[in-house]
Amino acid sequence: QVQLVESGGGLVQAGGSLRLSCAASGSLFSINTMGWYRQIPGNQREEVAGITNGGRIQYADSVKGRFTISRDNAKTMVYLQMNSLRPEDTAVYYCNARQLYSTYWGQGTQVTVSS
């Protein structure tokens, strides 16, 4: 089992920045990918950014050049630095951890960008 706890959401004006943090605990040794997803009510959850154990990183096209995902060496924390935020980035952001046969989610943190 893996537990994920997000923090760092909030209200920010367009053009501003926020940094999301995700603390992971439990059976971390078998996690192969961690990442961030977001969801707007009525829409499907979409992947924002992901990082593998090998350090391979991918971003959604909509956030490339603005968001940066990182992970600490102990692999207990994953971060999402969000710059140049836009109103369309408003969503609940979820931390995600994947093992070979299991996927885990945090409880989500609200990010609201005002215009």
Contact status, residue 21 vs residue 6, Cβ threshold 8 Å: yes
- Compute the Cα dihedral for 79, 108, 36, 53 and give only its sign: positive
Residue range 44-52: mean pLDDT, rounded: 96
Percent of the chain with pLDDT over 90: 86
Rounded mean pLDDT of the chain? 95
Contact status, residue 22 vs residue 47, Cβ threshold 8 Å: no
Confidence of residue 30 (pLDDT cuts 50, 70, 90): confident
